[in-house]
Amino acid sequence: MYRIIITIALIILAMPMFAETAIGSPCDVIPVPQQVEMGKGVYTWPEPDAFFHIKNGNGPLASYLKSLNNMTATDNQRKADISITITGDADAAQNESYSLTIKPDKIHIKAASETGAFYAIQSLQQMTRCGTVKRLQCCTVTDAPRFAYRGLHFDVSRHFRPKEFLLKQIDAMALLKFNNIHLHLTDAAGWRLQIDRYPLLTSLAAWRPYKRWEDWWNGDRSYCTQDDPRAYGGYYTKEDIREIIEYARARHINVVPEIEMPGHSEEVLAAYPELSCSGEPYRNGDFCIGNEETFTFLENVLSEVIDLFPSQYIHIGGDEATKEGWKTCPKCKQRMEQEGLADVDELQSYMIHRIEQFVQSKGRTVVGFDEIMQGGLAPGAVVMSWRGAEPGLEAMRQGNPAIMNPNAYYYLDYTQDAPFKEPVSIGGYTPLEKVYSFEPLPDSIPGDVAGNLLGVQANVWCEYITDDSHAEYMYYPRAFAVAETAWSQPEQKNYPDFRRRALNLVTQLRSMGYNTFDLANEYGDRKESTRPLKHLARGCKVIYNLPYSRQYPAAGDSALTDGVCGGWTYGDNRWQGTMRDMDVTIDLGSIKPVHYVGATFLQSVGAWVYMPRRVDIYLSDDGENFTLAGQAWCDVPDTSAEIRYKVYSTLCDASARYVRLHAVKYPKRGSWLFTDEIVIN
């Protein structure tokens, strides 16, 4: 015991020495640089301050450097510890490139623009772990990004985030060389931007009498005024936005505003019901496209947005419009007749085309989620592809720019580890390795089409993410993986090495006050899914008395007896889904003893996936005459937001050739039922 105490004491005493002697290296940087050449020797960071000199710089870089710890400007280039040269010969492809040379006596940065020099500084920041590492490996780094658009999305509608939260995330984004922050400013849950012409958007539509989104959504979905004692919400003043934009500009990040249309607009239509098909509040969620006042409103709002935001990109949402009201609305029917539109998809396309032309007339570019392709794609619109990569690839084939944002990889509101140990999420399982594995450009895409890919973006939707610290937790370290895919060449990516670097950067972010996932103690995927399962029915034929969904087939007809169990999410191609009852019969090939029959189901209420109400299990020798062997009932509340797993099973002492399972689906219209394997022993 005495020896153990002495050993621990020696380790504690040695810890400061290890920090002092650690050597920062470009091999620790995320995203991985394009080219690194190691040199001889070590550069020691000067104390107390490092002096920097910028040649030909006239932007915000000097002010940014002065804001960092231990950095001081000097007019004497020879005296400078860090010498920065802006060559000024940047074209679009070179604007963000840089070279960083570390010698024993000096650090040299050369870049075509201040943007490139800024990214060199971010690499230095990571190498020094924001000043805690004083010695740097001599080297030369030559670096440039793979994609022009590298974005993160912030849902400030479901839960309003204070300005300070966004400024903090902008600092982390800068460290990772992101260059676009997408603000989801409007949605049913709340309008978050001051619009002078329409004051009810911030006096009414920005506030609700519920803090938790799910309470509001499952309640009356009402709004209230700011002076209501129950009021929860908020909005950004134009002065707030100007401050955010300027802070981001100094860190070479563009702020992309999103004004959602035509769907997800309940909050607007509660404040201005004349813009809905019914003309009544709390009846519709989609703007009335047949109403000319709708376009007057949208153009007036977009004019104020464009005057406020310098962003070339103006996001208009365009996703998940119900279109239900349009089918019976006289004004929408009249619009369809006048314009020769065949269906409501073409009516949406009419709206998108018209808004795209208006935004284009202001010198800006429309971005929309991939539903804007329905009914015909506006020629100048950028498609943000969230329902997989294929919509984006199709847009690129049509000649439109695209940004890859596939939900299976880049929706960071999905849980990043085992659901039983993580905060409540909307569903899904997107661990760091899966995020890192996404490749936005398949080899089959020809070069002329590949050039239409602007880049990638990750989203965090906040239905179940009330607190700021929880929202922050969902980004890191998964945003690291997005950053590396966006910046680095695919042949440079290596997950084991990336994970090593991610562990270092997690430590650095935590020291800076960020709340991050504990990557070092990652649990990983559902253990049942990591190894084949052996049982009596494995490999046996499955007869489907009711078909499964072609959207979630897993391995098809063999999925329920292939020995492969699902992971933490229904969307991993191992869970088989249906929107009706599951009714299957398994042929064991001959009469065999049967002592156990069971199947696992999952529930993810946020994704409309529910446990079956009951599972009936039958046995038969001939496949025609079945005897009930047992029943299993649901005991999982349908209001539980947590992702839940339950085995429905029965014990029996019988023999049979055929085993039938009938799972009775949850009665809610549009709900799903998922199972992964039927186990018989």
- Is 185:161 a contact under the CB 8 Å cutoff? no
Determine which helix (DSSP H) or strand (DSSP E) holds 480, and give its type and residue range: helix 478-487
Nearest Cα neighbor of 83 from 97, 63, 96, 65 is 65
- Is 601:638 a contact under the CB 8 Å cutoff? no
- Rounded-to-integer distance, Cα 220 and Cα 267, Å: 13
> How far apart are the two ends of the chain, measured CA to CA in Å?
51
3-state percent breakdown (helix, strand, coil) of the chain, nearest 5: 30, 25, 40
Which is catalytic among the residues 182, 252, 264, 662?
264
Query: What backbone phi and psi angles, to 5 degrees, belong to 97?
Result: -80, 160
Nearest Cα neighbor of 662 from 675, 653, 651 is 675
- Rounded-to-integer distance, Cα 319 and Cα 311, Å: 21
Nearest Cα neighbor of 347 from 359, 355, 339 is 339
- Rounded-to-integer distance, Cα 33 and Cα 360, Å: 36
Which is catalytic among the residues 114, 187, 260, 286?
187
Reported as half-sphere exposure (CB side, CA atoms, 13 A), residue 469 has a value of: 4
SS3 239: helix
**Residue position matching structure tokens 């809905």:** 276
Which is catalytic among the residues 239, 307, 320, 390?
320
SS3 359: helix
Structure-token pair, residue 340: 């020769």
**Residue position matching structure tokens 């201040």:** 114
Structure-token pair, residue 211: 């803090």
- Radius of gyration (Cα) for the chain, nearest Å? 28
What is the length of the chain?
681
Nearest Cα neighbor of 479 from 527, 522, 552, 416 is 416
Could you say which DSSP state residue 107 is in?
A: E
Catalytic: 47?
A: no
**Planar angle of CA 645, 651, 654, nearest 5 degrees:** 140
Cα Dmax for the chain: 95
Structure-token pair, residue 62: 């000097």
Structure-token pair, residue 55: 């040649």
Catalytic: 187?
A: yes
Determine which helix (DSSP H) or strand (DSSP E) holds 654, and give its type and residue range: strand 644-664
- Is 423:469 a contact under the CB 8 Å cutoff? no
CB neighbour class for 212 (10 Å; exposed up to 12, middle 13-18, buried from 19): middle
Residues taking part in catalysis: 187, 264, 320
